[in-house]
Chains A and B, each alone.
Chain A
Amino acid sequence: MTKLRRRTGVLLLAVIIGHVVLISVQVNTPSGVRLLESVTFGLFSEVQRAVARSVGGVQGLWHGYVGLVSVQEENGALREDVAQLQLRLQQERAMAQRARGLEELLELKRNVAFSTVSARVIAGDATPYFRTVTIDRGTGDGVRRDAAVVSPAGVVGRVIKDPGSRASKVQLLIDRSAAAGVLIERTRVQGVAMGVVDEGLLRMEYVSKLEDVQVGDLVVTSGADGVYPKGVPVGQVAEVGGGPGLYQTIHVRPNVEFGDLEDVLVLVPEAAASVTVAGGG
């Protein structure tokens, strides 16, 4: 009985470690490095430090007393290296300039019009904690990651993860980690719309208390986020409050009824849309 209990305990421990490793593989630390890499690196770097210190001690002894003979030769090799590195630096600068030019071109391309692919919502999220839906269109229809998804009423969300060939996952705008660049249509005041936990509302952030915002104002996308095109309706201001700090507390009621979403439109670039069969618009 004790043996069986111990074996079950070991199994639980193994499964938990497996999960922790799995999670670590996917999660980034605040500095952008993956957690697994960070922890592994942190642990191994201590071992490496100890080994390097020992090796360094021996090397120091060697170079300080025995290896002085080779210094002149090494000096010559280093001068050669410096000359090569200077040449490489010049090449890198030229490449950076080219990249900047390409970025400008890309910015221009972002302003090019989109085509639409009609899609049907086929499932919701598998957990109650996220606000995502699955649509029946994928890469085969021209849908790409980060493609904006809209409905006639307004912004629905964006495609997250790499879509399958016949289905894609869409993060709704009311998800707690979703956001969109928006502006108040009347005053052109810009902000960021984010999902409010459990309430089905959006919160418009970063709007100064000096700006004029009123209940009922129409909120549309600003296009600043690079995902949603400019001018798509998002919702109406439902509540404006003072709030602490420099910014106002603004709640926006979305135009889209996220509870009964059935048909949506995915915005795809012109080139990708040309391969689709069911392209609507």
Chain B
Amino acid sequence: MKTAWVALALVATLALQTTGAPLLAGLGVSVDLVLVLVTLVAIANGPVGGLWVGTVGGLLQDALSGGVIGVGGLAKTVVGYGVGALAVHFNVSWPWHQALVVFLASLVHAAGFVGLYGLLSDERAMTSNSSVLSQAVANAVIGIGVALAARATPQWVMRRRMRRRRLTRRFGG
């Protein structure tokens, strides 16, 4: 069930990345929503979960983009595994901590992704340092938003259930 939810989230994130992110890119803000998802799933599920989501998410992203299939997959696999391993040893349950992890994961991912492309071709630079930094900040902002929403959702669902139960008791059902 959990795997199905993660798969669904991955598909939704990819759809959002290809349709919504270009609009943000038009405003000069670039984000990698799949990386945010991989990081948050790795924090919640540990290294193996992070590894698999990173692999599948990265490969799907590669297949949908114009690049070499496997480069994004490899970068995200390493990030997913690394973040998962980190989450096992450190307490990163607070949204602020998670945002920091997303920020750092974005930098590591960019280094891996751009570095791999640098090894594979002698073409011009893929992106600038300022762009990598701004993307990491944007990813972190989105990460904290998602983390806060994920934290608030169970409480909201429980409050809603309680209210419904009270109303049922008061008016009968």
Give residues in A with beta carbon < 8 Å to B: 8, 11-12, 15-16, 19-20, 22-23, 26-27, 30, 35, 122-130, 132-134, 160-161, 169, 171, 175-177, 194, 197-198, 259-260
- CB nearest neighbor in B for A131: B66
Top 3 A-B pairs ranked by shortest CB distance?
A124-B22, A259-B26, A126-B64
- Name 23 A/B residue pairs within 8 A (Cβ), A-sorted: A8-B48, A11-B48, A12-B81, A15-B55, A22-B73, A23-B70, A26-B70, A35-B120, A124-B18, A125-B66, A127-B67, A127-B72, A128-B30, A128-B32, A128-B135, A129-B113, A130-B65, A169-B66, A171-B66, A176-B125, A198-B131, A259-B27, A260-B26
Are A198 and B66 closer than 8 Å at their CB atoms? Answer: no
A199–B59 alpha-carbon span in the complex (Å): 27
Q: Which residues of B contact A161 (CB under 8 A)?
A: 66
Also in contact, A130 and B19, with CB within 8 A (given A11-B51, A176-B123): no
Are B67 and A19 closer than 8 Å at their CB atoms? Answer: no
Residues 50 to 64 of chain B near chain A (Cβ within 8 Å): 51, 55, 60-62, 64
Are A22 and B70 closer than 8 Å at their CB atoms? Answer: yes
Residues 101 to 145 of chain B near chain A (Cβ within 8 Å): 113-114, 116-117, 120-128, 130-131, 135
Are A16 and B78 closer than 8 Å at their CB atoms? Answer: yes
Q: Which residues of B contact A20 (CB under 8 A)?
A: 70, 74
Q: Which residues of A contact B87 (CB under 8 A)?
A: none
Are B55 and A175 closer than 8 Å at their CB atoms? Answer: no
Are B69 and A22 closer than 8 Å at their CB atoms? Answer: yes
- CB nearest neighbor in A for B72: A127
Q: Which residues of A contact B22 (CB under 8 A)?
A: 123-125, 133, 259
Q: Which residues of A contact B19 (CB under 8 A)?
A: 122-124
Q: Which residues of A contact B78 (CB under 8 A)?
A: 16
Q: Which residues of B contact A160 (CB under 8 A)?
A: 66
Q: Classify chain B: how many residues form its interface, as a range.
A: 35 or more
Also in contact, A130 and B67, with CB within 8 A (given A123-B19, A124-B19): yes
B100 at the interface (CB under 8 A from A): no
A128–B132 alpha-carbon span in the complex (Å): 10
Q: Which residues of A contact B61 (CB under 8 A)?
A: 126-127
Q: Give, as a whole number of angstroms, the nearest-CB distance from B76 to chain A.
A: 10
6 additional A-B pairs beyond A12-B51, A23-B68, A124-B21, beta carbons within 8 Å, are A19-B77, A126-B60, A129-B117, A169-B66, A176-B123, A176-B126
Interface class of chain A by DSSP: mixed
A22, A26, A128, A171 pick with most chain B CB within 10 angstroms: A128
- CB nearest neighbor in B for A132: B66
Q: Which residues of A contact B34 (CB under 8 A)?
A: 126
Q: Give, as a whole number of angstroms, the nearest-CB distance from B125 to chain A.
A: 5
Q: From B32, B55, B77, B131, give the contact of A127 (CB < 8 A).
A: B32
Q: Give, as a whole number of angstroms, the nearest-CB distance from A256 to chain B.
A: 13
Q: Give, as a whole number of angstroms, the nearest-CB distance from A191 to chain B.
A: 16
Also in contact, A126 and B17, with CB within 8 A (given A8-B47, A176-B123): yes
Q: Which residues of A contact B31 (CB under 8 A)?
A: 128
A122, A126, A130, A194 pick with most chain B CB within 10 angstroms: A126
Q: Give, as a whole number of angstroms, the nearest-CB distance from A253 to chain B.
A: 16
Q: Give, as a whole number of angstroms, the nearest-CB distance from B102 to chain A.
A: 14
Q: Which residues of B contact A122 (CB under 8 A)?
A: 19
B42 at the interface (CB under 8 A from A): no
B25 at the interface (CB under 8 A from A): yes
Q: Which residues of A contact B125 (CB under 8 A)?
A: 176, 197
B83 at the interface (CB under 8 A from A): no
A132, A161, A194 pick with most chain B CB within 10 angstroms: A132
B71 at the interface (CB under 8 A from A): yes
Q: From A11, A26, A124, give the contact of B69 (CB < 8 A).
A: A26
B14 at the interface (CB under 8 A from A): yes
A114–B22 alpha-carbon span in the complex (Å): 30
Q: Which residues of A contact B68 (CB under 8 A)?
A: 23, 26-27
Q: Which residues of B contact A260 (CB under 8 A)?
A: 26
Instruction: Indicate with 1 or 0, residue by residue over B23-53, a CB within 8 angstroms of chain A CB atoms.
Output: 0011100111010000000000001100100
Also in contact, A16 and B74, with CB within 8 A (given A259-B25, A259-B26): yes
